[in-house]
Amino acid sequence: MFEFAGKVAVITGAGSGFGRAFAQKGAALGMKLVLADVNAAELAQTVDALRETGVEVIGVPTDVSSAAAVEALAQAALAAFGKVHLLFNNAGVGTGGFLWESSANDWSWVFGVNVLGVAHGVRVFTPIMLAQNEPAHIVNTASVAGLLSPPAMGIYNASKHAVVSLTETLYHDLKLAQTDTGGVSCSLLCPAFVPTGIADAERVRPDELRNASRPTRSQIAAGKQLHRAVEAGKLSAADVAEITYEAIAARRFYIITHPGIMATVKLRHDDIEQLREPTDPMSLKPEVKSAG
């Protein structure tokens, strides 16, 4: 059983959405917090609100797509609290539309945050955790879109599939590197769409990666569908945080917040095993259409 009180958690994407909910839950469990976000204003709001309740917390504005920035985040965490016991590689962005209409900037932005952000977190913090010789845990936020391949979400899907594979491999690597089963472990979080800021991720896109051209029809349609799916989410970010911390406590690897989606995941696996053409997950039950 993983213990939280008095331990140190580092959370990326903590200015809003899941990250803020993870911070609030960690604070309620008595954790010390190191919060990171590319949006300095939103990050400051989260930090200030927690400090007012007596939480030991620092905020470190961080672009997780930058290796140097994530390394600086780790140094700030160690300078403030000396150790890191829990890492949420949570920061994420998304864009939609037909794959051939997606720009090089779209690919660079989404993969920079969603994939390299997780990779930098694993690369920088895992050695720190291993050297501590204490129980520690890493949570990588993927998505149901890392288990399925909905249309008009190609870049996001590909980035989240990468996080799924990266995290499964991390699990195996940690097993090979350690003899103590109570050492460093990890979890893969795959939520469906929940009311968070993911539908408005463009607000944090760097100027140098913005598109000069206007959105295409498929991109506009995908954006509208994303907003509808997010707004229709039946679980809150706080609900997902509760589920996630329960899984961490039990050191459970797969964290599926919307178990109803598993029938569709199984269908995808059946398609592969039987060499069928892939089934469009959006053509299935209504609850599938809110998965992301």
List the structure tokens of 212. Answer: 């000069």
Ramachandran quadrant class, 97 (left: phi over 0; alpha: psi -120 to 50; beta: rest):
left
Q: Which domains does the chain have, with CATH numbers?
A: 8-259 (3.40.50.720)
Helices (H) and strands (E) in the chain, counts: 9, 7
How does pLDDT run across 93-129, given as a tens digit for each residue?
999 999 999 999 999 999 999 999 999 999 999 999 9
What mean pLDDT is predicted for residues 216-230? 83
The model's confidence at residue 198, banded by pLDDT at 50, 70 and 90, is low
Active site residues: 156
pLDDT digits (tens, 9 = 90+) for 62-82: 999 999 999 999 999 999 999
Distance from chain centroid for Cα 69: 18
- Rounded CA separation 168/158 (Å): 16
234-269 confidence digits (pLDDT tens) = 789 999 999 999 999 999 999 999 999 999 999 999
d(CA 148, CA 158): 10
Q: Which three-class secondary structure state does DSSP give residue 286?
A: helix
Q: What's the residue count for the chain?
A: 292
Provide the 3-class DSSP secondary structure of residue 86: strand
Q: Give the single-character DSSP code of 216.
A: P
